[in-house]
A and B are shown apart, each in its own frame.
Chain A
Amino acid sequence: METTVTTGTEDSVWGGGNKPLGASYGKMMMWFFIVSDALTFSGFLAAYGFSRFKFIETWPIADEVFTHVPFFHGNYPMIYVAFMTFILIMSSVTMVLAVDAGHKMKQNKVIIYMFLTIIGGAIFVGSQAWEWATFIRGDYGALETKGGRILQFVDAANDNKRIAIGDFAKSMPETREQHTKDAGIWYMGESSLPSYSLNEVLAGLKDNPNILVRTEQINEEGHKTILNRSETLAKVNQAVRVVEGANLVRNEYGSRLFADFFFFITGFHGFHVFSGVVINVIIFLNVVLGTYERRGHYEMVEKVGLYWHFVDLVWVFVFTFFYLV
C-alpha cells in the first residue's frame, strides 16, 4: 500500500513523488480508466459492425428509423440526434471553460460553468430517454414472417410512402384477451397484445389494392425493395404475427439485432452520461463548498472533465456508426 501514497516530500528518483509522465497519480488513473472504457465501447461498436456486415443487404436504414423531433410532426431524419450531439459538445465546452477557470483559481466562474455542464448533461439524458420511448413505441407497425423477417407496408397511391397498419387494418368482431399470470393454471403470461390482430391486418390488406409490402432487402439504389401486388399477397401468407414498436426480441424496423444493439450501445452510453452527471454534481457541490479553494488547486474538476469529454468522444462515434453510416 505504501507505494501508492505519494506525499511529494521526497524528490529522489526512486523515493516516490516522481512524475515521469508529468501527470499526477489521479489524472493518470483517470486516463487509464478512459482507455479501458474506450476498449469496451469499441467492442460494442465492432460487434455492431460485425452483425451489420453479416446482414449488409437487409439491415435497417437508420434515417428511416430515427425521424422524430419532439413537439413537431412529420419526417425529420437526423435533426434531433444532431441536436443531441450539439448539446453534448456544448456541455463539453462549458466543462473546458470550468477547468480553465479552475487553473486561474476563479471559484465563481467554475461554479457557473460546472452548472451549465450539468444542465447540458441533463438535457442529453432526457433526450435519450425520449428517443428510447419513441423507438419502443414504434410508428408504423409491421408483420413478422415465419422466418423472423419483417414486412412493412407502403401506400402505392401515395408515392410509395410508408403506411401504418392501423390506417388500413379492418376492424373485425373478434376478441383476444391478453393472457395474464393470474388467469391460467400455470404461471405464464404474455406481453401486451398489438392493437390489431394478424387477421385484421390481412383482411384490410386484401380490401385495399394500393397497399404493398416493403421487404428488408436493400436494392441496388440503396432503398428497401417494394413488392408488386401479387407478390405482396403471396408474401403476407407467410406472416405469423403483428409487431409494433421494439423490444429485445423483435422490432418493427427490421433485423432483430438492430434493436438489441440500439438498446445496448445507446443504453451503455446513456448510463455513462448519467453517471457523469452524478459525478459532476458531486464535484459541483465541492466547488460550491470551497473544498478545492482550500486545497489550493482544482485538479478534481480537471479529472471529471476528462471523463465528461470522454463521454462526448464516445457519442461522436456512436452518432457516426449508428445514425450516419
Chain B
Amino acid sequence: MAHEHKLEIFRGLVKFKSNIQKIWGVLIFLSIITAVEVILGIYKPDFFMKTYILDMKLLNWVFIILTLVKAYYIAWDFMHLRDEKSSLRRAIVWTPIYLIIYLVFILLFEATYIYDVFKNGYLSWNF
C-alpha cells in the first residue's frame, strides 16, 4: 500500500520533504486558525461586529470562511483526499456541497420569513 503523497500545500507555496513533516505543518496551520477564531470570538472587534455583508455580521462571515478553510485542510491532508483520484474526490465533495447549499438556502429563507411574521404579524409570542 505504498501511496504516493503530494507534499505541497497552498498551491505549491509550501513544499514539505516528507509526509510526516506535512502533517505537522498542517497541524500548525489549523492551530493558528483556531486561535484566531477564539481570539476574535472573545474580543469581538467593533469593525467586525458593525459591518454587515448580506445581512450577516462580517465576524460571522470570517468564522464561516475560516471553518471552511479548516475543513478543506482536514479533508485534503488528514483524510488524504489530495492523494485520491479526482473522480473520487469530486463524487465525495460536490454531492454534499450542492445538497447542503440547497437545504441551507431554503431553510434560512423560510426562517427569515417566519421571523417577519412573528415581528409584524398579529401574533403575540414574546411576553
Contacts and interface: CB of A to CB of B under 8 A. Distances in A.
A145 interface: yes
B77 to A, nearest CB: 8
Interface residues of B, number: 56
B13 interface: no
Interface in B19-52: 19-20, 23-24, 27, 30-31, 34-35, 37-38, 41-42, 44, 49
A181 B118 CA distance: 40
A38 B30 CA distance: 21
A50, A58, A147, A317, most chain B CB atoms within 10 A: A50
Contact of B127 (A28, A57, A146): A146
B95 to A, nearest CB: 6
A155 interface: no
A58 B127 CA distance: 12
Given A56-B115, A298-B1, A22 B85 contact: yes
B103 A42 contact: yes
Given A46-B104, A97-B20, A299-B1, A54 B111 contact: yes
Contacts of A51: 111
Contacts of A85: 34
Contacts of A34: 92
Contacts of A79: 38
18 contacts: A35-B96, A42-B99, A42-B103, A46-B107, A49-B108, A50-B110, A53-B108, A53-B115, A54-B114, A56-B115, A78-B41, A96-B77, A147-B126, A313-B79, A316-B74, A320-B63, A325-B63, A325-B64
Interface of A: 20-23, 28, 31, 34-35, 38-39, 42-43, 46-47, 49-58, 63, 77-79, 82, 85-86, 89-90, 92-93, 95-97, 99-100, 102-103, 145-147, 149, 216-217, 222, 238, 297-299, 302, 305-306, 309-310, 312-313, 316-317, 319-320, 323-325
